[in-house]
Structure 1
Amino acid sequence: MAAHRTSSSDAYEPISAEWREIIHPRDRKHWLVEGVGLESKNALTRDRVIIAQRRMKGLWKDYFVTMVHAVALLLTPRVSESDIATSQSLYNTAMKYLAYVFAQPDPILHAQAYLLLTLHALHSPSSQMIVTMVSATMRYCVMAQLHLAESEPKVLNPVFSLEVQTRRRVFWSAYALDRLISWIYHIPNNIIDEHISVELFSNVGDSDLHRDGSDDCRIRIETPSQKTHVSPALHLFRCRRIQSRIISTMMRSDFEEINASTTWREHMLGELDAWRSQLRLLSDVASKSYTSDRWVGMAYNYTILLLHQPTKENVCSGFGDRSVPACVQIAITFRTFQKDRQTAQLWPGLLSQVAVGITLLYCFWATPPQRQTPAYKTREVPEALRACSTALAILAERWIQAEPLRDVFDTLAREVPVYGMVVDGSPPRRISAESAFYIQSQMPLLASIIMHRGVLRMIREIITEDFPRDFPEPHDQTLSADLGGHLCSEECPFFQRTGHAGSVSTNVQGFDSLGGGIGGAFGVDDETLMFPLLFGSAEF
């Protein structure tokens, strides 16, 4: 027995810190004891060690289960303080298992872990954290080569391959989040569209995906326009790609030269109107999902604002006429979603409402009263401002960090005269010194939270400059049907003049109910009609 005790040194190795948390305390002593009868004492311990080893190999699953619950608690519109505390506790627990995820060899698991961290970050009141997490997620996808078609597994039928379609869904979900944050903060995309070669994933339901990508289920999906449970998100993703091209163009160093011509903006309007008309295939009047008229209208009007950022120079040249109705519809619709409890409380959603409210006020500040067109003179303008103020107040109850945004907006709303609000005497030359001083004192904080240079510029102009009164005659902004000189990427159908150049619509006074059939640029059965799944309209 003595010889056996000395030769069994491996039975006496100290237990690691990780295993101490798993093995029952009454069995830990067997790892340190050196005495007679160790064989019988260690019999139960060996069984427990085997169980512990198996348990440690599966700890990566605990991360995903715990994080999904942590995020799910925040997705409900009725999130309470108790839900927030529970979510944070679950998040802290999940972090203990994150190392086990990265110990797995599968890069898809790593990317999915990043995606969950990003979704949780979207509900935190930290712009820096959100931007950092989204950037890290997209960069990891690039390092794992998920954006490259040549890196995909070679299977018989990739359209129905679970492995291929999972890879594509992971990448395009990261892409959608990246474009969302690029739009909210008006910062460059982490990867440009021209560097992406992987295909969009297919309009195929989960039940039709097979590990071997066999052909036996091909017959289930007959046409590209057939509805599946992923179809609604596919079309919203197309809007995200339109936004991506707009952002990429605006971030170019030669954008001033591009912007001197109206061609590129007209083309994007044509793309946007074609996308909106094609939603008729999936729109459900009775639905409250992402294909309802209201949700589609939100996405449409947000893109109109992205495309027409007003300045003192262009506000009287059609930019104000397009921005004001879009802001009004967004503010009223967002408030309706809040009342119906249809929207989650996300930090980017708060920032988007701040941008909408500031843009609406700026248009009235920058446009002399005699230049204000009928688009400015609707009774919905005061209603939209009240809706925006209420929405910000509700979100400020969720995050104390949002209170300065709420207060600055309310201060500007009192100072800038808008249609329907009584102004005693002649219009003021500039906002009051007290209000200007207060907002100026908040600018460092606003710059760290909002980050959007365009929104910050509008605030600075309002608090430091006189109301514009004597404008030069506006430039001719008549839309042209000539798209031959637009500067989109080669993947754009208009680049090779395959699009329907004459179909560009000038009716962008705000989104109305969907009507009519499919636009001329794409046919009903055209495969370009379907676009891949994303996490949904997180910004709403």
Structure 2
Amino acid sequence: MEAAVMNTNRPTSSNFAHSPGQRRDTLADQLKQISLEAGAERHLGSSSGISFAKLTQAVLRRLSPDQEAFVFDCDVNEDQERDAMFMPELIPSINSTLIDIDTPVFNDSGANRMIDVHEDSGAIDLALLEPSYVNRLLEFYFAHSHTLYPIIRQKEFTSMLWKVYSDPIDPSSQSPLCLYRIWVILAIGSTTYSSVSLVDESESVQFFNKAMTYFEPAMGCGDLAALEVLMLQVSYSFFNKIGPNTWLLVGIAARMATGMGLHTSDTYISLPVDVAEFQKRLFFSLYMMDRVVSMALGRPFAIQDHDIDIGYFSDVDDEQIHPDGIMPSNRLEPSSMAVPLHILGLRNIASDIGNRVHSIKGSQEQSPEEKEQTIQSIHKRLIEWRRSMPFPLPDLQQKVPHLCTSWFDFNYYTHVIMLYRPSPLYRTLNLPKVRILADASAMAIRQAISMHRQNRFSYNWLNLLAVFNSALSLMFSTTAQPDQLSLVLERTNAIDDLELAIELLEAFDKKFPSAKKIQRMIQVVVAKLRMHAIPTD
């Protein structure tokens, strides 16, 4: 039985005249803005959700009394002024690398500052920072970003940083690569902490600007060093949208990595074991970055799975890795690489979803039976991924999202959404698939709100996309079911779950003005749904 999806050839919001003081926004418009599309008409593919947003807008006609186009009216005077003020920071031009540190990137929370935010970044000195503060940023970096992307050798870096801190005039402390690493890692530690805590971002911007003064000489320190320099900038850009475009940085880094042959086994044959292990960590961190940004924007992967003929990095701690081999461990708890490897497994599943579900060519080559088998096999992999998460999770930092089970639940459900929403593989969903999509959408929002209320949700542009797509999927799957809308609302908690999404977007609005528009759109939908709901006593 096919779900009742409305005819999308009927008039859309662009066909209607409106007053000069009003603008008709669409769900797709807002998704484009979050997806870095405000500055240019760049391509957004299937996995970005752009086509799905348009389909959802069409399906929402069911909430209009005359079944005509469902439109959202936004006050131009208020919203356009806010966008003009903030969007350059959210969506920088390709040539932008630095911003004026006197400009408030995010709302000032009144958090204590360790340095004067009006100082020129070139005047910042490591000695001006309290050791306890540096330690806090390092701990958060290695608990948060290093667990996602294990790019750095932790002990070597920490030793080097404190050497520079204690003796800044030592000639060995003047390497541009060394100084770039220090400042960009402090910047990443600061911006990731701010993304969870929603505190002032000024210090992070200063640290990043300081790091960029060493960027060009650091890029000249060899191929592997240059790759690391770019990847650290990518890591920063996931949480703070200053500097070059994330998509372009990942593409450049991928070209460098494949040019060095880091994806081929021949490259590692003559390398010492420790060097090979850390190069694999570097390569697969880049692979994960590529999957994250490419799936978010619906664009081709920079690194193709069929070109990779090396195994993953080993599930061991740094102390076990030696030039001549890997020493066994007697520890019962998982290694420091257990969580990164598990996340790598998720990125590999996402790669499969991109290639087999959201690829036009990949979907055309499958028969109806093969299409169903594809969905079932990937769903089984997701279930196994969720069931096999590392236990116990490291207890490193209370605020790190991916060190709690809710993060794994959230990512499980957001990937189920990508698997089941309309795509080149299944342009029309049957009722069982619509209901799976509805359940996954509701659960994704609930897991996000759980982390939000635990103060361990990361308010970055990737999670804003995830929350928006979850809300889109819930609105679509609620209104697309063939039953009477009142009956659908009676047996689900769709309205309550959309209210949770509205609560989340209130927090995102502190960093992303587009979140306010999305919030208003969902509020309009919720108000319409309430009109169809059966009153409760």
TM-score bracket, normalised by the shorter chain, equals 0.5 to 0.7
Between the aligned partners of 2:374 and 2:195, the Cα distance in structure 1 is 42
Unaligned runs of 5+ in 1: 1-20, 22-50, 424-540
Could you tell me which residue of structure 2 aligns to residue 530 of structure 1?
none
Confirm or deny that 1:241 pairs with 2:357.
no
Q: 2:493 aligns with which of 372, 375, 380?
A: 380
Could you tell me which residue of structure 2 aligns to residue 164 of structure 1?
276
Between the aligned partners of 2:486 and 2:265, the Cα distance in structure 1 is 51
Between the aligned partners of 1:384 and 1:345, the Cα distance in structure 2 is 19
Could you tell me which residue of structure 2 aligns to residue 70 of structure 1?
187
Could you tell me which residue of structure 2 aligns to residue 353 of structure 1?
467
Could you tell me which residue of structure 1 aligns to residue 504 of structure 2?
391
Q: Indicate if the aligned counterparts of 2:237 and 2:243 stay in contact, CA closer than 8 A.
A: no
Closer/same/farther in 2, CA of residues 78 and 104 from structure 1, 3 Å limit: closer
Closer/same/farther in 2, CA of residues 269 and 263 from structure 1, 3 Å limit: same
Closer/same/farther in 2, CA of residues 60 and 276 from structure 1, 3 Å limit: closer
Q: What fraction of aligned residue pairs are identical, expressed as a percent?
A: 15
Q: Indicate if the aligned counterparts of 1:310 and 1:363 stay in contact, CA closer than 8 A.
A: no
Q: Indicate if the aligned counterparts of 1:204 and 1:221 stay in contact, CA closer than 8 A.
A: no
Between the aligned partners of 1:221 and 1:271, the Cα distance in structure 2 is 30
Q: Indicate if the aligned counterparts of 2:292 and 2:347 stay in contact, CA closer than 8 A.
A: yes
Closer/same/farther in 2, CA of residues 91 and 292 from structure 1, 3 Å limit: closer
Closer/same/farther in 2, CA of residues 52 and 113 from structure 1, 3 Å limit: same
Q: 1:148 aligns with which of 224, 241, 264?
A: 264
CA-to-aligned-CA distance 1:109-148 (integer Å, 9 cap, x gap): 2111111111221123589922222222323222222212
Could you tell me which residue of structure 2 aligns to residue 219 of structure 1?
328
Shift of residue 149 of structure 1?
Answer: 1.6
Q: Specify the code of the residue in structure 2 equivalent to 1:358.
A: L
Between the aligned partners of 1:283 and 1:325, the Cα distance in structure 2 is 28
Q: Indicate if the aligned counterparts of 1:265 and 1:307 stay in contact, CA closer than 8 A.
A: yes
Shift of residue 201 of structure 1?
Answer: 0.2
Between the aligned partners of 2:405 and 2:236, the Cα distance in structure 1 is 28
Closer/same/farther in 2, CA of residues 54 and 419 from structure 1, 3 Å limit: farther
Could you tell me which residue of structure 2 aligns to residue 275 of structure 1?
385
Closer/same/farther in 2, CA of residues 59 and 354 from structure 1, 3 Å limit: same
Could you tell me which residue of structure 2 aligns to residue 133 of structure 1?
249
Q: 1:408 aligns with which of 521, 525, 528?
A: 521
Q: TM-score normalized by structure 1?
A: 0.60
Between structure 1 and structure 2, the one with the greater Rg is: 1
CA-to-aligned-CA distance 1:211-261 (integer Å, 9 cap, x gap): x2x24x523269xx9721221222222121111111011214251452733
CA-to-aligned-CA distance 1:156-205 (integer Å, 9 cap, x gap): 6x3xx2x1111011111111111112222222211210101122000010
SS of 1:341's partner is coil
Could you tell me which residue of structure 2 aligns to residue 319 of structure 1?
433
Shift of residue 388 of structure 1?
Answer: 0.7
Shift of residue 81 of structure 1?
Answer: 7.8
Q: Indicate if the aligned counterparts of 2:191 and 2:239 stay in contact, CA closer than 8 A.
A: yes
Between the two proteins, the alignment pairs up a number of residues equal to 363
CA-to-aligned-CA distance 1:424-454 (integer Å, 9 cap, x gap): xxxxxxxxxxxxxxxxxxxxxxxxxxxxxxx
Alignment of 1:84-103 (within 5 A): 84-103=201-220
Q: 2:456 aligns with which of 318, 342, 361?
A: 342
SS of 2:388's partner is helix
Between the aligned partners of 1:397 and 1:102, the Cα distance in structure 2 is 35
Between the aligned partners of 1:101 and 1:413, the Cα distance in structure 2 is 52
Shift of residue 80 of structure 1?
Answer: 7.2
Between the aligned partners of 2:263 and 2:345, the Cα distance in structure 1 is 17
Q: Specify the code of the residue in structure 2 equivalent to 1:190.
A: A
Closer/same/farther in 2, CA of residues 145 and 406 from structure 1, 3 Å limit: farther
Q: Specify the code of the residue in structure 2 equivalent to 1:244.
A: S
Q: Indicate if the aligned counterparts of 1:282 and 1:291 stay in contact, CA closer than 8 A.
A: no
Could you tell me which residue of structure 2 aligns to residue 365 of structure 1?
479
Closer/same/farther in 2, CA of residues 283 and 269 from structure 1, 3 Å limit: farther
CA-to-aligned-CA distance 1:271-300 (integer Å, 9 cap, x gap): 222223333x62569997646432221121
Closer/same/farther in 2, CA of residues 304 and 372 from structure 1, 3 Å limit: farther
Q: Specify the code of the residue in structure 2 equivalent to 1:168.
A: K
Shift of residue 85 of structure 1?
Answer: 1.5
Q: TM-score normalized by structure 2?
A: 0.60
Unaligned runs of 5+ in 2: 1-122, 124-167
Q: Specify the code of the residue in structure 2 equivalent to 1:178.
A: D
Between the aligned partners of 1:342 and 1:88, the Cα distance in structure 2 is 22
Q: Specify the code of the residue in structure 1 equivalent to 2:477.
A: C
Could you tell me which residue of structure 2 aligns to residue 487 of structure 1?
none
Could you tell me which residue of structure 2 aligns to residue 303 of structure 1?
415
Between the aligned partners of 1:111 and 1:181, the Cα distance in structure 2 is 17
Between the aligned partners of 2:531 and 2:353, the Cα distance in structure 1 is 30
Could you tell me which residue of structure 1 aligns to residue 230 of structure 2?
114
CA-to-aligned-CA distance 1:305-342 (integer Å, 9 cap, x gap): 11101379634432211111111111111112112111
Q: Specify the code of the residue in structure 2 equivalent to 1:264.
A: T
Closer/same/farther in 2, CA of residues 94 and 284 from structure 1, 3 Å limit: closer
Q: Specify the code of the residue in structure 2 equivalent to 1:220.
A: S
Q: Specify the code of the residue in structure 2 equivalent to 1:194.
A: H
Closer/same/farther in 2, CA of residues 330 and 188 from structure 1, 3 Å limit: same
Worse-matched range after superposition: 414-423 or 113-122: 414-423
Q: Indicate if the aligned counterparts of 1:315 and 1:363 stay in contact, CA closer than 8 A.
A: no
Q: 1:177 aligns with which of 276, 289, 300?
A: 289
CA-to-aligned-CA distance 1:19-39 (integer Å, 9 cap, x gap): xx9xxxxxxxxxxxxxxxxxx
CA-to-aligned-CA distance 1:71-111 (integer Å, 9 cap, x gap): 11111156678741221122112111011111112x22211
Between the aligned partners of 1:87 and 1:142, the Cα distance in structure 2 is 31
Q: Indicate if the aligned counterparts of 2:495 and 2:526 stay in contact, CA closer than 8 A.
A: no
Between the aligned partners of 2:305 and 2:487, the Cα distance in structure 1 is 38
Closer/same/farther in 2, CA of residues 115 and 418 from structure 1, 3 Å limit: farther
Alignment of 1:8-47 (within 5 A): none
Could you tell me which residue of structure 1 aligns to residue 61 of structure 2?
none
Q: Specify the code of the residue in structure 1 equivalent to 2:444.
A: I
